[in-house]
Amino acid sequence: MKFFSTFLCLLVSAISFGQKLQLNDSAYFETRGVNVFVFNSQYNGMFFDEKTAGIELIQHGVRTATGGAIRLQNTPEQWDLVPAMVDRKVDRQKNSVEVTLRYDEFAFTSRINVTPKDNGVEINVYLDKPLPAKLEGKAGFNLEFLPTAYFEKSYLADGKAGSFPLYPASSTIIQNADNKIPQFAGHNTFDDRGRNEFIVPEPLATGKTIVLAPEDAERLVTIQSADAPLMLFDGRNLAQNGWFIVRSLLPAGKTGKVLTWYLEPNAIPNWKRKPMIAFSQVGYQPAQDKVSVIELDKNDAPLPTASLFQLTANGTPVEKLKDEIKPWGQYLRYNYVQFDFSTVKEPGLYFIQYGDQKTNVFTIGQEIYKDSWHPTLDVWFPVQMDHMQVNEAYRVWHGVPFLDDALQAPVNHQHFDGYRMGPVTDTKYKSYERIPGLAVGGWFDAGDFDIQTGSHNSAILSFVDAWEKLKLTRDETYIDQATRYVDIHRPDGKPDLLQQIEHGSLNLVAQVKNIGHPVRGIVVPNLHQYHHLGDASTETDNLPYNPALKPYQSDGRTSGTKDDRWAFTNRNSFLDYHTAAALAAAYRALKGYNDTLSRQCLGYARQLWNEDARQPAGNDTGFLAAFRRNTQIAAALQLFISTKEEQYATSFKEMIFPTLDRSLQFGMTVALQAIPYMDTDYQNRMRAYVVKFKAMSDEYNRQNPYGVPMTARGWGGNSAIINWAISCYYAHNFFPDLIGREYVYKGLNYIFGCHPYHNLSFVSAVGTRSKRVTYGNNRADFSYIAGGVVPGLLVLHPDFPENKEDWPFLWGENEVVIDICASYIFLSAAVNDWNQ
């Protein structure tokens, strides 16, 4: 074994010989095939550890390590405390990056310096003051490695071999929680039965040298510690989204340089990323433009041509077009060329070939969009239905959840996931008092099980647009509100879209009726519930809380268990207006279908408008002020369409053009939606804004090779691209001489696979190859829910686009939410409607 270990170490050295990392112009360390980021992205103060911060490793085109920082747990979970970056210094003369980190909770400051050494980097940790006593044995340097990058691979710890487990299998122990480092805002991971203990994973291995994946040149990493031992942990023992973690504890009672690591990620000599041929997995209509975007490593010389092959009935490929590619240039870290095959219009099956790379087969045909929205309406939205049991054939997605909704959230409380309460409740209810009537309707907002009112409003507005403008009468779902039962793929004689509008509106009406106004949202009180994966009906005991009972007692109707979701009830104008817009629109769709609910929708929409309209915006500034104006405009328009009362039209026209002058992006869709209901003077004025909108849209062709409004935020940009394409759809309908259909097709092509990083459709089960691993409530199964639309590309600062298909737990890339899915249904069905 000793000889074998020595041989492997020599092999490692031979493979990585010649690798030299240098600090590049983008302030990260780079060599051919390897990048080392040093806090180019910081930990998030709201969501804490998003696995996109600290020291990170990109190895042969894949981000395989993250979170290099001083952490206070062996295997930190998302909501465990994270350090704030106080300072980041890039020293180009010394070829180094140094960051200062601080935990205010413990008045603990450290410095991490990273500089190239040999074929890797040296990481040094400095303390100006000794480690606080409370952190002795707890504070250490961690670096986290993506589990899917190391599944079915091995490691060496001081020459002793081991294998990375496919499923968490290492040992754990139970410790008393009295000295546990608290999680966010004092919350902890204790269960609701009050057990004062917590789980601690034992290390998989320890040593002074750990080699990861010595058999795989693309994933090979060597870590050596000059001081404290290295420990290899499996974070998945505590949380399914945990990573493999290499860790060294910081010593007690020392200052100065207290820890040194040498990190050597292997770099394959002359490595080049394979070309990625991006195209629409749904295919193309014969007459539309058809442009493939080919993503190239910056060290790759473009080929002169690409080819389009048609696949015949007997499986023989026939070359239909061979043409020159068009260089576009560099975007982020890659170079791009384009292959235009618009001249091919014959319906059939095709694939693209560029050098040795071939795509999968796609369709050119007239009806390619006919079914593209069906999975989202047929499957994804039914699965998200709160307060209902949802069945699909032999499968039960979940039982009836949250029949215990809801308690008044306590005042002066900062919650997780952005929820908070101020010093008053803005209701007649006291903290923890039960609010009746909320256990009805609504959708789970995303991959977790809370109700987000703003998302509901957006979804309902999109649904009403689809109902009124496209007449989507598809019926594939049985929905019975009386028995709280949903059965997928079982028609019930009622349009599914109307039933979904009804379901969302029921919860909004319940909020205004029982609380007096819409609320920020309804969410579980404890982190151990929020982490819940599985059947939503098991997240609470489904019995309303009764303070007269002892904890875990029940009289069969109520219980003494305070696990009921909380309603966060602080009032704000933009949410009132947004809800008024949604309810005013729902009134029209539900009229003649559920007249009682329809009347309630309009009545409460009027009430919210009358209570808030024409009031000063208060302290709202920036985005909040813009959002308030936009929701007020939307409410005015929807109320005018529903009532034909001139007061609402007057308000709308007073606000819309100043809003467009501030931002075309924020106001264009609603401004275009208003055209059929306004006079000719309004349409004439809108023409000038559409000219500006076209110029703005054309600028995207110069910003990126896809010609769409891509973003580089902490959340993928698919929602903005879909909303832009919807604006283009309306602009084309009213001003076809200014905006052609190709603007709309560009947006859909991007969603369906013509985007960076990979060419999968961002809509699960739509297109030949689509997202099969997403952040839904079944993410622990590394699966998806058909029809879900993921956020898309996350651009890790400064230049790395990413959308992982093998790891569902990055919500900024893969979490599916209701508003984007509803707007996608409208866009996809609208494009299909052009062909009816």
Residue ranges covered by each domain of the chain: 2-265, 276-364, 369-453+478-572
Q: Which pLDDT does position 195 carry in this prediction? A: 56
Q: Which pLDDT does position 198 carry in this prediction? A: 81
Do residues 60 and 273 lie in contact, with contact meaning Cβ atoms separated by under 8 Å? yes
42 vs 212: CA distance, rounded Å: 26
Cα–Cα separations (whole angstroms), residue 760 to 74, 267, 742, 765, 766 = 35, 27, 21, 10, 10
User: Which pLDDT tens digit goes with each residue over 70-87?
Assistant: 999 999 998 899 999 999
Query: Could you tell me what percent of the chain has a pLDDT over 70?
Result: 94
Q: Which pLDDT does position 13 carry in this prediction? A: 43
118 vs 108: CA distance, rounded Å: 32
**Where is 363: in which H helix or E strand?**
strand 362-364
Q: Which pLDDT does position 184 carry in this prediction? A: 62
Residue 736 zone, left/alpha/beta (φ > 0; ψ -120 to 50; rest): alpha
Contacts of 594-601 with CB under 8 Å at 24 or more apart are 594/502, 597/502, 597/505, 597/506, 597/509, 600/509, 600/513, 601/505, 601/508, 601/509
Orientation angle between helical segments 622-643 and 573-590, nearest 10 degrees? 30
For residue 616, pLDDT over 60 is answered with no
622 vs 127: CA distance, rounded Å: 40
Query: Could you tell me what percent of the chain has a pLDDT over 90?
Result: 89
Token pair for 331:
């975007």
Q: Give 2-265's CATH code, choosing from 2.70.98, 3.90.1570, 2.20.25, 1.10.287.
A: 2.70.98
Beta bridge partners of 487: 391, 478
State the residue for tokens 């599914």.
496
Q: How many CB atoms lie within 10 A of CB 356?
A: 8
Token pair for 393:
């054939």
User: Which pLDDT tens digit goes with each residue over 246-276?
Assistant: 999 999 999 999 999 999 999 999 999 999 9
Exposure string (b/e) for 255-289, b if CB count within 10 Å is 16 or more?
A: eeebbbbbbbbbbbeebbbebbbbbbbbbbbeebe
Count CA within 13 A, CB hemisphere, residue 738. Answer: 21
For residue 375, pLDDT over 50 is answered with yes
Q: CA 714 from chain center: how many Å?
A: 8
Q: Which pLDDT does position 341 carry in this prediction? A: 98
∠ Cα 604 606 611 (to 5°): 95
What is the pLDDT confidence band of residue 468, given thresholds at 50, 70 and 90? very high
Concatenate the DSSP letters of all residues of 463-510 into one string. Answer: HHHHHHHH------EEEETTTTEEEET---SS-HHHHHHHHHHHHHHH
Q: CA 96 from chain center: how many Å?
A: 33
For residue 553, pLDDT over 90 is answered with yes
Give the largest CA-CA distance in the chain. Answer: 88
User: Which pLDDT tens digit goes with each residue over 488-512?
Assistant: 999 999 999 999 999 999 999 999 9
For residue 7, pLDDT over 70 is answered with no
Q: Which pLDDT does position 603 carry in this prediction? A: 98
Exposure string (b/e) for 387-405, b if CB count within 10 Å is 16 or more?
A: bbbbbbeeeebbbbbbbbb
* Domain 276-364 belongs in CATH node 2.60.40.10: yes
Count CA within 13 A, CB hemisphere, residue 76. Answer: 32
Concatenate the DSSP letters of all residues of 549-608 into one string. Answer: SPTT-B-SS-BS-----EEE----HHHHHHHHHHHHHHHHHHTTTSHHHHHHHHHHHHHH
pTM of the model: 0.95
The amino acid occupying position 82 is V
Q: Which pLDDT does position 665 carry in this prediction? A: 83
Q: Which pLDDT does position 199 carry in this prediction? A: 86
For residues 18-30, give the mean pLDDT.
Answer: 90
User: Which pLDDT tens digit goes with each residue over 563-603?
Assistant: 999 999 999 999 999 999 999 999 999 999 999 999 999 99
Q: Which pLDDT does position 613 carry in this prediction? A: 59
68 vs 65: CA distance, rounded Å: 8
For residues 535-558, give the mean pLDDT.
Answer: 96
User: Which pLDDT tens digit goes with each residue over 398-440?
Assistant: 999 999 999 999 999 999 999 999 999 999 999 999 999 999 9
For residue 673, pLDDT over 70 is answered with yes
For residue 805, pLDDT over 90 is answered with yes
Backbone angles phi, psi at 358, to 5 degrees: -125, 145
Token pair for 271:
């490595």
What is the pLDDT confidence band of residue 772, given thresholds at 50, 70 and 90? very high
User: Which pLDDT tens digit goes with each residue over 167-218?
Assistant: 998 899 988 777 778 776 434 333 445 556 788 899 999 999 999 999 999 9
576 vs 519: CA distance, rounded Å: 9
Average pLDDT, the chain: 94
For residue 633, pLDDT over 50 is answered with yes
Of 38, 43, 50, which is closest to residue 84 (Cα–Cα)? 43
Residues in the chain, total:
836
481 vs 503: CA distance, rounded Å: 8
395 vs 228: CA distance, rounded Å: 51
